Amino acid sequence: MECKCCNREQELRMGFCFDCANAESIIVDGTDMWDKPIEKKEGMSLSLSKIQEILKIYGVVKNKD
């Protein structure tokens, strides 16, 4: 099925994929689906740090591990 938010073919819960639910949690609560807080990165605002984490979810930004 197709996610109502990202339109990707994914396994869905209530019409949304896990990635989109995770991104929503980051935006609303400042934590991911595992209750890990999104921390402010050096040189960035907390809002930009949240955006960066969301972009990592969708593979737009690569993790620097």
Task: Report yes or no on 4 lying in a domain.
Answer: no
Q: Residue 19: which domain range?
A: 12-57
Predicted pLDDT of residue 21: 96
Of 57, 59, 53, 61, the residue nearest 18 (C-alpha): 57
pLDDT at 65: 54
On whether residue 64 sits in a domain, the answer given is no
pLDDT tens, residue by residue, 5-44: 999 999 999 999 999 999 999 999 999 999 999 999 999 9
Q: Report whether 20 contacts 6 (CB < 8 A).
A: yes
- Residue 40 falls inside a structural domain: yes
Question: What pLDDT is recorded for position 62?
Answer: 85
- Residue 28 is assigned to a structural domain of this protein: yes
Q: Is residue 1 part of a domain?
A: no
Q: Are 14 and 6 in contact (CB under 8 A)?
A: no
> What total of structural domains would you count in the chain?
1
**Residue 63 covered by a domain:** no
Higher pLDDT, 38 or 64: 38
Residue 45 has pLDDT above 80, yes or no: yes
Task: Give the DSSP H/E element, type plus range, for residue 16.
Answer: strand 16-17
State residue 14's pLDDT score: 93
Does any domain span residue 38?
A: yes
